[in-house]
Amino acid sequence: MSVPVHRDSRTEATRLLCAGVYLDAEFRGQVIEQLVQHEERPIAPSLGVDAVPVLAYALRARSQEVQTSLLLLFVWAVFLAVDLTAGGPVPGVPMVWSLSYAVLCMALWSSRAASGRGTAVYTLDRATLRRTMLGRRGRLTKLLPLGPRLLLAVYWIAALVVFFFFGAADWPAVVFPLLLVVPIWMHRAHVSGVMRNELARPRFAVLPRAQLSSGYAYRRIEAAIEREQHAGLTIYDPFRPFIGAGTPYEPWSFALELKRRKTAAPGEAQLTSRAVIELIRPRLEALRQSAAETSRDRLKDLEIEEFVYLPVGVPRGEVSYDRNTVMQHLADSVDEGGEARRHFLRIRVGAWDEQVVVSVLVRVHTQGGMLVLEVVPHILSPIRPEYRAVDVIAGRGSEDVFRDGVRALLAGPTAGFAAAVSSIRTLLTVFRTWLADPQRALPDGPATSVREMGSSREISLFQEMDISRYVKTIQDRIASGVRDALSSQGYETDSFEQQIVQVAEGGFYIGSMSGGAVAAGSGAQARHTTGGDQK
């Protein structure tokens, strides 16, 4: 039976984000917070990713950590009870071993969190981090604190010495820390199985798309995400525009007075925003077709669509995303030039397997005898490199049980405390969500997107070069479309072409100037000469 493929559900970015919720507890918490705890917020546009499987895996990862923490809690309870009744190496001081080991687990977890290596239960070893963090190896090595590890070594030396040389009554100090490794080992085996059987590249491409659990609230959230994430409109907060598109990349705009050519026929139609957009679109489509026929350039997959931003107003559940409503918004907003409802032509390029997403948003005004062109490029940077550890984990194979057990032994103290912290956070999150009842909260716009939360801040030089090329190429097609629109409607184009040349070269344009002086660039000087005097 064939499995329906949803838009962007098979992209590399989606796969890495699904793995990231297991490897990064902070990222997982942010995903659940934005999509579940703030159910009143519509989801931001999902560019190159599918948020439904990311949320589904986030909830599964959280549930698995809660189960692991319950097993650990049981072992800890027995550890404390036995240590209390068995006495200890210090007469009159109960639970020395259990409390000492608990403090060491907390210290190890804190040092790991401070080093920036994450606080998830499934902790990555240094070898895996080196393979995925690339140029950040030195920073990781320097940040790894040795103090808690030395204290852990001291604990084990003391426990073994007391156990073998001073009596077997102190057996809990050795046995229970080993028993605490078992739930961590089971957890690591589960996560490794998910990475290997579901999130490995070959498997992710053919398996059914992950869905949320069958609870009523989760079904409601999933349906809302399905409606919103790839719709032709989105809700926005005026103080948080363009959420989901990434970081602005050299936005620019200009205003131009529309002047008729002397040779223009008197009856020629007035220039409208729709006319300009309809002349920009063929240039972009021709660019896409040319790239597809002559190269493997990512411009061959260039996406062109009209998009409407609607201000926050009615509750989330009352916003209609059906095709007729979206088309009506597109038709009504393109020429209105309003402040609240805003129409854009969005051109998107998903490069580097959707690791780098370039979105160029174009808005056109033609009211009051003026042409105003706004071009706002945005960049989504690559997914965090540590999430690529999914391929390292998936490549180990299921037969490497003993080696994974050793990893669990080494990671046990940190992972055990991380499981406890995760469970406490989950309990507080569920309680706060129930208390706040976000479904009935005041309407709000999205605060961030799943893709943005999982992005790094680093872009390679090759990626930067590609971004610059895509943006400049798209802007050139936009400029040619606007120029043709002006010419076809009988308007002068000389001033427009002069402004475009200045913008393209990173300079500036001054239509007219009386007196004064202008300087630009490093080391530039401006002199204003009047009557032989220089000022």
Clarify whether residues 327 and 259 are in a common domain.
yes
Query: Does residue 467 carry a pLDDT above 50?
Result: yes
Whether the pLDDT of residue 439 is over 80: the answer is: yes
Residues 133 and 161 in one domain: yes
Asked if residue 118 is part of any domain, the answer here is yes
Q: Which residues span the domain enclosing 102?
A: 12-219+384-453
Q: What is the mean pLDDT of the segment spanning 391-417?
A: 81
Say what the alpha-carbon torsion angle 361, 362, 365, 366 is, to the nearest 10 degrees.
Answer: -170
pLDDT at 463 over 90: yes
Q: How confident is the model at residue 146 (pLDDT cuts 50, 70, 90)?
A: low
Q: Is residue 226 part of a domain?
A: no
- What digits encode the pLDDT tens for the residues 215-226? 788 999 999 999
**Strand extents, DSSP E, 140-282:** 233-236, 247-248, 252-257
Per-residue pLDDT, 375: 94
| Average pLDDT of the residues in 1-21 | 79
Residue 66 and residue 115 in one domain = yes
Domain C-terminal end among 422, 437, 453: 453
Longest CA–CA separation in the chain, Å: 108
For residues 65 and 173, membership in a common domain is answered with: yes
Q: Residue 265's pLDDT band (boundaries 50, 70, 90)?
A: low
Q: Are 159 and 43 part of one and the same domain?
A: yes
In this prediction, residue 93 carries a pLDDT of 53
Least confident of 291-295, 378-382, 506-510: 506-510
State how far the Cα of 355 lies from the Cα of 388, in Å rounded to an integer.
12
Nearest to 254, CA basis, from 514, 520, 504: 504
pTM of the model: 0.85
The alpha carbon of 513 is separated from its chain's Cα centroid by a whole number of angstroms, namely 46
The answer to whether the CB of 269 falls within 8 A of the CB of 292 is no
- Residues 14 and 49: beta-carbon distance below 8 Å: yes
Confidence of residue 256 (pLDDT cuts 50, 70, 90): confident
- What is the residue whose two structure tokens read 């609870």? 215
What are the residues facing 361 on neighbouring strands? 346, 376
Contact 196, 394 (CB under 8 A): yes
Please indicate, yes or no, if residue 146 is contained in any of the structural domains: yes
Whether 449 has a pLDDT exceeding 50, the answer reads yes
- Please indicate, yes or no, whether residues 443 and 477 belong to a single structural domain of this protein: no
| Structure confidence at residue 529 (pLDDT) | 46
State pLDDT tens for residues 30-86: 999 999 999 999 999 999 999 999 999 999 999 999 999 999 999 988 888 887 776
Q: How confident is the model at residue 120 (pLDDT cuts 50, 70, 90)?
A: confident
pLDDT digits (tens, 9 = 90+) for 510-519: 333 334 444 4
Q: Does residue 477 belong to any structural domain of this protein? A: yes
Task: Identify whether residues 351 and 492 lie together within a single domain.
Answer: yes
Paired tokens of 166: 């001073």
Q: Do the domain assignments include residue 46?
A: yes
The answer to whether residue 176 is domain-embedded is yes
